[in-house]
Chain A
Amino acid sequence: MQSYLQEFPVVLTASRLSQPLSESPNSMTIIERQMIKASGFRSVVDLFRLVPGMYVGNAGANQPFVSLNGVTDQYSRRMQVLVDGRSVYLPPFGGVDWSGLPLRVEDIERIEVVRGPSAASHGTNSFYGVINIITKDSAFLEPDSISLSSGEMGVVDAAVQHSGANERFDYRLSYSYRADDGDNPEILNDSTINRVFTMRSNFRINSTDNVEFQFGVNAGILGKGTKGQSDKDPFRTVKTLNDFQMVAWRHAWDSGDESKFAYYRIGRNATDSPKPINWNVGPSLLGADISQSTRQDIEIQNTTQLWQENRIVWGGGIRYDFAEQPLIFSSTHGLNQARVFVHDEWRPVEATVVNIGTMFEDDGAGHKNSSPRISLNYHIQPQHTLRVSYATATRNPVMAEMYLMAEKNQYWSRAYVPPIMELRPEKITTRELGYVGHFGELTLDGRLYHENVRDIIGLDFYADLSDPTKPSSSFKNLTDGNFKGLEISADYRWDTGRMNLNYARQEASCYFSSYPTQYFSSNTNYTNPITLGQYLGAIYQSDFLNLCRETVPTNSASVLLTQKMSETFDFSTGYYFRDSVRVMDVYSALPAESSMHRVDFRLAKKFGKEERPGGGEVAVILKNVFQDNYTGYGNVAQMANLLFKRRAYLTANIYF
């Protein structure tokens, strides 16, 4: 009888439920747990090879970065990256320290990658797109586990996980050690050692209130340095410490509405010691390069069903970003930011969903923006949906762009000075036509898009008349860009397997939005009779604008195939292809990255029941099986030799 009258907590609250692709205002790629496992990837960033059009590169194996669209650099600061709702791109450069995230690949439940601006739903910096990583809830009754990996390139990974639950409280603790020698230890010192500890837990106050706690820390020891550059970039070690704390309280209202209050703090400390200086004279040491950055954020989000066909998600937040790095900033910097957002999901008539929303923000550095967007999804038939959308977003200048200050030949060969002309936020406008269709077990998703980006911030030059060939650097809103393309994803499942296919075709073009150089000079020491401005303009044209179209690969694709071979054997293979590409900050005299045709294999033998006590799995993973000699990102002369060598490793998981 109790079964019929029993009270239960509200589990699948509005914020836990994901919008189906056919009703989403954006194109979205979802990477699920099974795909993560099948891919055999050890690092989080590699997973983004499964996203159409996404670039995955690294400035050394321990400094990976990802980007949608071109015109990026190794800080790749034009995307929002969320882990369980925490925004993890960091001041002062605005990039993500992927290697240092206190996050284990094994803890990821799913990743949603929004392709296109989405500030109304995902907050500040949702510019080219959003990476939304969701980790496994501690309520999943998973057995405790140990996993070990070992293989070529010095791969040694070990991890333990323990979870527990009672009526009101559940938790999961995990510790992992992850180490490798990097990709090209003979050229780049890019080894990694990460020790990661994370805790996630839920406390149920009553049937309507739940409090979630999370904290984590990642202590990293990263190799750094380039062979043959013992003066400028000697082999050395960088120590990093990334940590976070988070508390989120969810309240379910009787009406089914939900309110969520969340506070989090993330921090990163890095010590690069000794930091070399004096690029021209010879090796000499400046002492430790110590950087520290933190972010604290409070947000309230409400989901309100206005009436049956209309639901809004609304709220606001405040944030404090802090950065300190004495060698490149004259003082510490802190920014108090604030935002309010509203997103409305409305079904005005049958078979139609309108998503409309905006975010207003104040970045604390004098910029106030709004980022409206609207989309219309129309179900031509229940299984076939067309989407048209118009979205805008803003990227506020990061601290580095506003405040960088360093002398010539000290931290870098160039001197950096803060801009004299005020930097404006970059703006993006995206127009998109999308389709989502289901044909039995086949799901098709495609989009055509056109993105116009204005006021892209780039390096400008300060004319130093004492040495006009080596001007100082500063940032300026310099260029506009147009990006257009086609993306197609297909996902097909059958009884014993699954295939996931992605293809993207992209085009980029850039042009000046304002003339370079904030400081005109009449000095005509250059090839007569041009001015410094004209001289720099010509350099920009040849080194930047003409190369802009190369910042995206024309074609790129991925295929992930999983096949159950027998009751105990699973096989999966990934194929990753892209045309040649050149990341914008790579020196123009260096060649572009070559095209890539890479194939990975994974063969697993299971024993006992999968992910059950007494069960386990042993897998052999081969990366770049056919040794495709594609080259990667790099700003060193030996770049052509920076190859991703074929490698194999073994992994074992035991559950108990």
Chain B
Amino acid sequence: MVCTGRQVFATLGIFFVCQTLACANPLRVTLVLSDNTPAYKELGSEIRSVLPKEYDLKVIGVDEGMADAELYIAMGMKAAETLAHSAKPTLNILIPRAGFEKLKRIPSSSYSAIFMDQPMRRHLALIASILPNATSVGVLYDTPPSELESLRKQAGVMHFDLQEQKVDQEHLLAGALSDLLQVSDVILVLPDNNIYRSDTIRNILLETYRAHVPMVGLSANYVRAGALCAIYSTPQQIAYQAAEAIEIFANTGRLPISQYTREFEISVNNQVARSLGVQVKDADQLRVEVGRRQ
């Protein structure tokens, strides 16, 4: 169950901007890919397909020489780190907010980002919509992620009881998870590569299911594996927003301030939902509810 965003409106918007302002002097844009993973290539193709054809769009790897361009699009953390050491106008995409904030370069009208992660409020809004009786949200982490502050604040605002559990030598994963499951109505995944790995996800999902506690993941991959649901942005949605920012830069010489994606998708694992006795809501309905709550 996937609900689609408002790509049609975005396309029309770009088309309109292009017609009226920018296309006389097509912009020279260079996409810098962190590596050759399919996710980067897919997003690169999406941006290329959305931008007007007149644009001079080059795609290079992070190790290649930086061709002369008016705007650089850094895709992924490695590319972002490389461009953070330069003064080139750069839009960072496919990096989480936490990653962007760690970079040394100060955000400006020529240095901005579209975050790939979702604001904590959006995750909590999804939980409130799909699990209306959930009051206690459990999170597990190895090192306190930078999202934690925002999560604590939003949890307070939205009247959730946030249960935090640290994994360390004292509390190994199995024990920490088991403790957390006893006090949580739902587990919210925070980005932590030391915890949610392909070799641990099996154990984590089986334990949460065993405890009848649903898990809210970070991507469709989590949902496919067995999480109840996830809220995330697709490459298309990121590409449209990036294309908009590029257009604005072409027209004004300024990038929009760093921001989350406006559009998002929600995936729900219906089989898991039924088995856990969760009332399955229609995806569009969920999306509207999350939009209203966030």
Q: B271 touching A611 by the CB < 8 A rule?
A: no
Asked if A529 CB lies within 8 Å of chain B CBs, one says no
Interface string of A11-29 (1 = CB under 8 A from B): 1101011111011000000
Q: Given known contacts A10-B224, A142-B174, A207-B198, is B116 in contact with A4 (CB within 8 Å)? A: yes
* B179 nearest in chain A by CB position: A609
Q: Given known contacts A3-B218, A166-B199, is B205 in contact with A11 (CB within 8 Å)? A: yes
- Among candidates A1, A11, A20, A137, residue contacting B116 with C-beta atoms closer than 8 Å: A1
* B-chain residues with CB within 8 Å of residue A143 when the two chains form the complex: 174
* B-chain residues with CB within 8 Å of residue A4 when the two chains form the complex: 96, 116-117, 191, 218-219, 232
Chain A nearest Cβ from B260, distance in angstroms:
13
Q: B203 touching A140 by the CB < 8 A rule?
A: yes
Asked if A168 CB lies within 8 Å of chain B CBs, one says yes
Known: A17-B271, A207-B198. 19 other contacts (CB 8 A): A3-B192, A4-B191, A4-B218, A4-B232, A5-B219, A6-B221, A9-B202, A11-B205, A11-B225, A11-B226, A12-B275, A17-B275, A20-B274, A20-B275, A139-B206, A140-B203, A166-B199, A308-B270, A612-B178
Chain B nearest Cβ from A336, distance in angstroms:
35
Q: B277 touching A1 by the CB < 8 A rule?
A: no
Q: B206 touching A256 by the CB < 8 A rule?
A: no
Q: How far is the CA of A7 from the CA of B219 in the complex (A)?
A: 10
Q: A140 touching B95 by the CB < 8 A rule?
A: no
Q: Which residues in window 242-294 of B have CB below 8 A to A?
A: 269-272, 274-277, 279
- Among candidates B174, B210, B221, B274, residue contacting A141 with C-beta atoms closer than 8 Å: B174
Q: A141 touching B173 by the CB < 8 A rule?
A: yes
Q: Which residues in window 189-238 of B have CB below 8 A to A?
A: 189, 191-193, 196-199, 201-203, 205-207, 209-210, 218-219, 221-222, 224-226, 232
Interface string of B1-25 (1 = CB under 8 A from A): 1000000000000000000000000
Chain A nearest Cβ from B177, distance in angstroms:
9
Q: B232 touching A140 by the CB < 8 A rule?
A: no
Asked if B29 CB lies within 8 Å of chain A CBs, one says no
Asked if B76 CB lies within 8 Å of chain A CBs, one says yes
Q: B221 touching A12 by the CB < 8 A rule?
A: no
Q: How far is the CA of A6 from the CA of B232 in the complex (A)?
A: 13
Chain B nearest Cβ from A175, distance in angstroms:
22
Asked if B175 CB lies within 8 Å of chain A CBs, one says yes
Chain B nearest Cβ from A4, distance in angstroms:
5
Q: Given known contacts A1-B95, A19-B275, is B199 in contact with A8 (CB within 8 Å)? A: no
Q: B96 touching A8 by the CB < 8 A rule?
A: no
- Among candidates A7, A19, A23, A204, residue contacting B202 with C-beta atoms closer than 8 Å: A204
Asked if A348 CB lies within 8 Å of chain B CBs, one says no
Q: Given known contacts A17-B272, A141-B174, is B203 in contact with A8 (CB within 8 Å)? A: no
Asked if B77 CB lies within 8 Å of chain A CBs, one says yes
Q: Which residues in window 165-199 of B have CB below 8 A to A?
A: 172-175, 178, 189, 191-193, 196-199
Count of chain B residues with a beta carbon within 8 Å of a chain A beta carbon: 49
* B-chain residues with CB within 8 Å of residue A109 when the two chains form the complex: 210
Q: B225 touching A8 by the CB < 8 A rule?
A: yes
* B-chain residues with CB within 8 Å of residue A186 when the two chains form the complex: none
Q: A12 touching B199 by the CB < 8 A rule?
A: no
Q: B99 touching A1 by the CB < 8 A rule?
A: yes
Q: How far is the CA of A359 from the CA of B172 in the complex (A)?
A: 47
Q: How far is the CA of A202 from the CA of B198 in the complex (A)?
A: 14
Chain A nearest Cβ from B99, distance in angstroms:
6
* B-chain residues with CB within 8 Å of residue A23 when the two chains form the complex: 274
Q: How far is the CA of A143 from the CA of B222 in the complex (A)?
A: 26
* B199 nearest in chain A by CB position: A167
Q: Which residues in window 148-174 of A have CB below 8 A to B?
A: 165-168, 170
Interface of A is mostly: loop
Asked if B39 CB lies within 8 Å of chain A CBs, one says yes
* B189 nearest in chain A by CB position: A3
Chain A nearest Cβ from B86, distance in angstroms:
20
Chain A nearest Cβ from B210, distance in angstroms:
7
Q: A256 touching B232 by the CB < 8 A rule?
A: no
**Chain B interface residues toward A at CB < 8 A:** 1, 37, 39, 76-77, 94-96, 99, 116-117, 172-175, 178, 189, 191-193, 196-199, 201-203, 205-207, 209-210, 218-219, 221-222, 224-226, 232, 269-272, 274-277, 279
Q: How far is the CA of A89 from the CA of B169 in the complex (A)?
A: 46
Q: How far is the CA of A376 from the CA of B219 in the complex (A)?
A: 36
* B-chain residues with CB within 8 Å of residue A202 when the two chains form the complex: 202
Q: B222 touching A8 by the CB < 8 A rule?
A: yes
Interface string of A128-152 (1 = CB under 8 A from B): 0000000001011111000000000
Chain B nearest Cβ from A534, distance in angstroms:
58
Q: How far is the CA of A18 from the CA of B172 in the complex (A)?
A: 29
Q: A8 touching B224 by the CB < 8 A rule?
A: yes
| Nearest 8 interchain pairs by C-beta | A12-B226, A3-B191, A167-B199, A141-B174, A8-B225, A17-B275, A11-B205, A11-B226
Chain A nearest Cβ from B126, distance in angstroms:
16
* A12 nearest in chain B by CB position: B226
Q: A165 touching B203 by the CB < 8 A rule?
A: yes
* A345 nearest in chain B by CB position: B274
Q: Given known contacts A10-B224, A11-B205, is B96 in contact with A1 (CB within 8 Å)? A: yes
Chain A nearest Cβ from B237, distance in angstroms:
13
Chain A nearest Cβ from B172, distance in angstroms:
8
Interface string of A304-320 (1 = CB under 8 A from B): 00001000000000000
A selection of 13 A-B contacts at a CB cut-off of 8 Å is A1-B99, A3-B96, A3-B193, A4-B219, A6-B221, A11-B202, A11-B206, A18-B275, A137-B206, A140-B206, A167-B198, A611-B178, A613-B175
Q: A7 touching B198 by the CB < 8 A rule?
A: yes
Chain B nearest Cβ from A132, distance in angstroms:
15
Q: Which residues in window 43-96 of A have CB below 8 A to B?
A: none
Q: Given known contacts A4-B191, A137-B206, A611-B178, is B271 in contact with A14 (CB within 8 Å)? A: yes
Q: B203 touching A1 by the CB < 8 A rule?
A: no
* A-chain residues with CB within 8 Å of residue B95 when the two chains form the complex: 1
Q: How far is the CA of A16 from the CA of B224 in the complex (A)?
A: 14
* B196 nearest in chain A by CB position: A3
* A142 nearest in chain B by CB position: B174
Q: Which residues in window 535-590 of A have CB below 8 A to B?
A: none
* A-chain residues with CB within 8 Å of residue B275 when the two chains form the complex: 12, 17-20
Q: How far is the CA of A11 from the CA of B223 in the complex (A)?
A: 10
Q: How far is the CA of A1 from the CA of B226 in the complex (A)?
A: 21
Q: How far is the CA of A609 from the CA of B178 in the complex (A)?
A: 11
Q: How far is the CA of A140 from the CA of B39 in the complex (A)?
A: 32
Chain B nearest Cβ from A292, distance in angstroms:
37
* A141 nearest in chain B by CB position: B174
Chain B nearest Cβ from A49, distance in angstroms:
24
- Among candidates B218, B225, B277, B279, residue contacting A12 with C-beta atoms closer than 8 Å: B225
Q: A12 touching B94 by the CB < 8 A rule?
A: no
* B-chain residues with CB within 8 Å of residue A382 when the two chains form the complex: 279
Q: A11 touching B201 by the CB < 8 A rule?
A: yes
* A-chain residues with CB within 8 Å of residue B222 when the two chains form the complex: 8
Q: Given known contacts A6-B196, A141-B173, is B207 in contact with A12 (CB within 8 Å)? A: no
